[in-house]
Amino acid sequence: MNKLLVIVYVPLLDEHYDVFIPINKKIGTIKKIIIDSINEMSDNAIINPDKMRLFNKDDCRLYDNNIYVKNSSIKNGTVLMLV
């Protein structure tokens, strides 16, 4: 299986999104794809990808943009916060 199902919570919008993410991409790439998708789906949400960070909601771990998803602690069902 090369994709994980995660929940992305965006406090700025007070919204949750279920997202499949590939394990062979870097966190920074995944973050940009998620933000671009949110900006496209939402009428008034303009989120700047340069200022947003991706955290694990359970242990408040900040994910570095340069590591691969497969080398991180992200698993199926992980709740991520985009802050």
Residue 21 and residue 43: Cα distance in Å, rounded? 23
Residue 61 and residue 13: Cα distance in Å, rounded? 21
pLDDT at 26 (0 to 100): 97
Low-confidence residues of the chain: pLDDT under 50: none
pLDDT at 61 (0 to 100): 95
| Domains of the chain: total | 1
pLDDT in tens, 40-49: 887 766 777 7
What CATH number should be reported for the domain holding residue 10? 3.10.20.90
pLDDT at 39 (0 to 100): 83
Structural domain of residue 56, as residue ranges?
A: 3-82
pLDDT at 44 (0 to 100): 67
| pTM, two decimal places | 0.88
> What is the C-alpha end-to-end distance of the chain, expressed in Å?
28
